[in-house]
Amino acid sequence: MKYFLPDSKDLVDPTFDFRRETRSSERIRHHDDHYAHEVFRQEGRVFDGLLVSKAVVEGTGAASQAKYTQHQQRRILREGVKEFFRLKDHPWGPIECMGDCGAFTYVKEEEPPFSVDDVIDFYVKCGFDYGFSVDHAIIDYKPQWDTDLFGSAVPPNVRARQDLTLKLASDFYATHKTNKLSFTPIGIAQGWSPSSYAQAFADLQKIGYRYIALGGMVPLKTPEILACLRAVGEVRLPETKIHLLGISRLPHLQTFESLGVASIDSTSPLRQAFMDDRDNYHTLERSYTAIRVPQVQGNFRLEARIRSGELDYDKTRKSEQLCLRRLEEYDTRRCSMAAVLKALRAYDEIHNPERDRTESARQVLEDSPWRKCGCAVCKQLKHHVILFRGAERNRRRGFHNVAIFYQRLEALTCQASASVSPKAAESTTFLSA
């Protein structure tokens, strides 16, 4: 099973000084900063490819904000996706690229903001290996609608979204075939139930697709996803591959693979580093909560409380710096855990007295998992990787999580025998000290 990491402009600054929290004044963000595949360039592969959305690059219209500047938009169209992301001649070997529309960004619109020709033009100019058909996401999962023999329980607008997605997929495939385009077309099935997904899947196979994605499943619970996959399995041709859009449910990936899933994409491992309340740092055995040491300078909430007179700047800043100093001393074995926890609790009493994170901090300090990990992130950052503090630390922790996720994925999808495939062995070598 292949894992594609969705692009959301996650880069880190290699010049960032974690002790002084400064960066080079000459740094140019996209030119000098590193993507995950550059951070791990000399180590084992941590994903199979990238997924890039047209909506992320160009936005979805006048009311939306694209994440790419106009200069970057022009450059990715001019140079192509592999040149833009510096993927060529990578030590890992080929890194494949998928292009999609980003349907969840326009889910509230009546129709997709892109035409088939718009999307194909984007895929061709960028030089993608795979291109998803234009779709319109269905966010309602209501299997009970199918109990009506005549189908009248399905809201007209929901059925219209599925019909439109299939029509656009048909037009997409026809244009691809007529023009003999080089990328592999992937049709997208949208549905509101196992049977509706199966019907859409069957229709896409009749059109000619042999690679089909199941969309709109991010909000679904795992048993619901499995029910849809089993229903799809009743109509799936042996040669048709399945892609799950936005799904990473690690404990169930072996089952997904047995039901025909050949690839997945998800930002969850990366996002959990700074968006999850507890599971921020991943290891093969468990997850840890990162230690919160919020910045005083540049932190909107703390600065607002200081300006209002609720907090004293000098006292807050002194407490913050003491935490950082104690953590560094602990990592170099010059300070006891008790001293670190005392400093952390004192700072918590200032910035967040309602939450006592002492126990979670005790667990991660006691285990010190970064000392056992040999990945590029942990070797460079040491204890900084476990600090919930600023984008440079948080993103790197996310990169570490992606590496761990890929290693676990490889282990799960190995053959049932105890032997480890060469690919899996390669990807695991740097993650143990």
Residues with catalytic annotation?
100, 265
Report d(CA 232, CA 173) in Å as an integer: 20
Query: What contacts 362, CB < 8 A, 6 or more positions away?
Result: 337, 341
Amino acid at 352: N
Q: Which two tokens stand for residue 192?
A: 């509101």
Nearest partner of 224 among 192, 246, 253, judged by Cα: 192
Q: Do the bridges between strand 211-214 and strand 281-282 make them parallel or antiparallel, or are there none, so unpaired?
A: unpaired
**Left (φ > 0), alpha (ψ -120 to 50) or beta: where does 333 sit?**
left
Which amino acid belongs to residue 10? Answer: D
Cα–Cα–Cα angle for 325, 328, 332, rounded to 5 degrees: 135
> What distances in angstroms separate CA 364 from CA 181, 289, 323, one per listed residue?
51, 7, 15
Question: What DSSP state is assigned to residue 45?
Answer: -
DSSP string, 368-382: -GGGT--SHHHHHHG
**Residue located via tokens 């967040």:** 352
What's the start-to-end Cα distance of the chain, in Å?
27
| Cα of 117 vs its chain's centroid, Å | 28
Contact 84, 127 (CB under 8 A): no
On the 0-12 / 13-18 / 19+ scale of CB atoms within 10 A, 70 is exposed
DSSP character for 102?
-
- Residue 345: what residue type? R
**Structure-token pair, residue 154:** 């399905």
Task: With CA atoms as reference, report the closest residue to 48 among 374, 407, 396, 416.
Answer: 407
What is the CB neighbour count within 10 angstroms for residue 221?
Answer: 11
Phi, psi of 432 (to 5 degrees): -135, 140
